[in-house]
Structure 1
Amino acid sequence: MTGDEHSFRLTMIGYLRVSTEEQASSGLGLDAQRDTIQRYADGHGWDVVWYEDAGLSAKSLARPQLQAALTRLHTAPKRRDVDGIVVAKLDRLSRSVADFASVLELARSRKWALVAIDLGVDTSTPTGELVANVMMSVAQWERRVIGERTSAAMQAAKRQGRHMGRVSVLPEATGARLLALRTTRTLAATADVLNAEGLTTATGHHWTENSVCKVHRRLIAAQQQTAVLTA
């Protein structure tokens, strides 16, 4: 993205979220988030288009408006009409470091900016990129700790004569894209989009309805297992 493409003015997606409980008790509601983002955007000379999920938790990334925003950002850079996504607080986007890391990886791979105002994460700037790199390191550490716990649990299950499956090794960006597509598309349509975007299975094959179904189930199971291990 160059300044010439947008007349030196970026257009960012402002993402807002509150859960049902927060609507009743939190001081940082939709209006407050919007105000925080707008002031930040004004200070940086950005235009903002708004997406909001009201009454939804951040337990997963499977939220209608968030997925719509990510789909819009997934457009090829030269045809994209937005330059990134900004949130007032990181937990408006995700409460999971692993989920945040997957979104950050998507941002890097597709070359759009990710901004979390409260933490100073702004990948459109060198300092914000540094903060994001630190958070990615934390996410990597978290994955290793979870992996060690999972390995210990699998060994214990093996000793007890039980079997625990293993999730196929997919790039995080591919897994996140599959999950995003499955929120609004059929298995067959998801396979078609993944293939059209040049994304392959963990073994390098084209996607089929059956492979999408199997991997989707495994990814959901992995998310649930991670939630239990980190609780």
Structure 2
Amino acid sequence: MGDNATTTKALGYVRVSTNEQASSGLGLGAQRTTITERCSARGWDLVDVVADEGLSASTLRRPGLTTALDRMAAGEADVLVVAKLDRLSRSLRDFIDLRDRAAAGGWGLVILDVALDMSTPSGQLTSNVLASVGEFERALISARTRDALAEARKRGVRLGRPPEIPDHVAARIRGRRAAGDSLRRIAADLTADDIPTARGGAVWSPSSVQTVLKSER
């Protein structure tokens, strides 16, 4: 980190998946504006903003993020600034990995929507709590969903394809299958693009793809 005699240099990182729109508040432009304004308010020199477009946060293997991390490791900036935590990672393991990279490299990780600055001791502590709570919340949501589905089955409710799957998603699945793609490949691509399943889940399986195909017959 820069000392009191120098201006802190910041590198921004922004991301959207294919199904996210600028109007949702998650768009690249909105993220860039937030990062620019906050860096200016802190007197930081924003050297650049690196973007990943149309990519999920399910993995750290993203071209833009890889570039940003390489530039941080090369000492181009003192802090990596992200507008929203879920733009960076949705995985506890990946979040901890990024935090450890920052600590080992001597640079700070700043996440604006949760007022988290991991270049400080209090920020390091908060990051542990935040990541754990986020993982716990997702586990609770998953458990509640499974329980609700099990209860519905007991009542004899038929759990077919609900109307939440947009026509363009069903058409995409049919088109990919007609082109010869495997169910596993189609499922992996839908998951990577952050497209919810018929039941609102985040991860597609070959069987869930097959269910959509059967419902279209």
Q: State whether TM-score is above 0.5.
A: yes
Does the 8 Å contact 2:22/2:29 carry over to 1?
no
Does the 8 Å contact 2:2/2:8 carry over to 1?
no
- After TM superposition, the structure 1 stretch with the greater mean CA deviation from structure 2, 104-113 or 126-135, is 126-135
Correspondences of 1:18-33 after superposition (within 5 Å): 18-23=16-21, 26-33=24-31
Q: Distance in 1 between matches of 2:15 and 2:123?
A: 22
Q: Distance in 2 between matches of 1:24 and 1:70?
A: 25
Q: Distance in 2 between matches of 1:42 and 1:25?
A: 24
| Inter-CA distance 35–57: structure 2 relative to 1 (3 Å threshold) | same
Aligned length: 137
Does the 8 Å contact 1:23/1:55 carry over to 2?
no
* Residues 169-212 of structure 1: CA deviation (Å, up to 9, x unaligned): xxxxxxxxxxxxxxxxxxxxxxxxxxxxxxxxxxxxxxxxxxxx
CA-based RMSD: 2.4
Matched, 1:63 2:62: yes
Give the Å deviation of 1:24. Answer: 6.6
Q: Distance in 2 between matches of 1:17 and 1:2?
A: 26
| Inter-CA distance 45–126: structure 2 relative to 1 (3 Å threshold) | farther
Q: Distance in 2 between matches of 1:25 and 1:59?
A: 23
Query: Which protein has greater RCO, CA pairs closer than 8 Å, 6+ apart?
Result: 2
What secondary structure does 2:20 align onto?
A: helix
Q: Distance in 1 between matches of 2:43 and 2:6?
A: 9
| Inter-CA distance 24–83: structure 2 relative to 1 (3 Å threshold) | closer
Q: Among 44, 47, 54, which residue is 2:45 paired with?
A: 47
| Inter-CA distance 124–24: structure 2 relative to 1 (3 Å threshold) | closer
Amino acid in structure 2 at the alignment position of 1:27: G
What secondary structure does 1:69 align onto?
A: helix
Amino acid in structure 1 at the alignment position of 2:59: S
Q: What TM-score results when the alignment is normalised by the length of structure 1?
A: 0.53
Q: What TM-score results when the alignment is normalised by the length of structure 2?
A: 0.57
* Higher share of residues assigned helix: 1
Amino acid in structure 2 at the alignment position of 1:117: L
What secondary structure does 2:21 align onto?
A: helix
Give the Å deviation of 1:121. Answer: 1.4
Aligned residue in 1 for 2:165: none
Give the Å deviation of 1:42. Answer: 1.2
> Structure 2: 5+ residue runs without aligned partners?
140-202, 205-217
> Structure 1: 5+ residue runs without aligned partners?
146-226
What secondary structure does 1:21 align onto?
A: coil
Give the Å deviation of 1:124. Answer: 2.6
* Residues 56-109 of structure 1: CA deviation (Å, up to 9, x unaligned): 11110111010011111123xxxx121121111011011112111100011111
Correspondences of 1:135-150 after superposition (within 5 Å): 135=130, 138=132
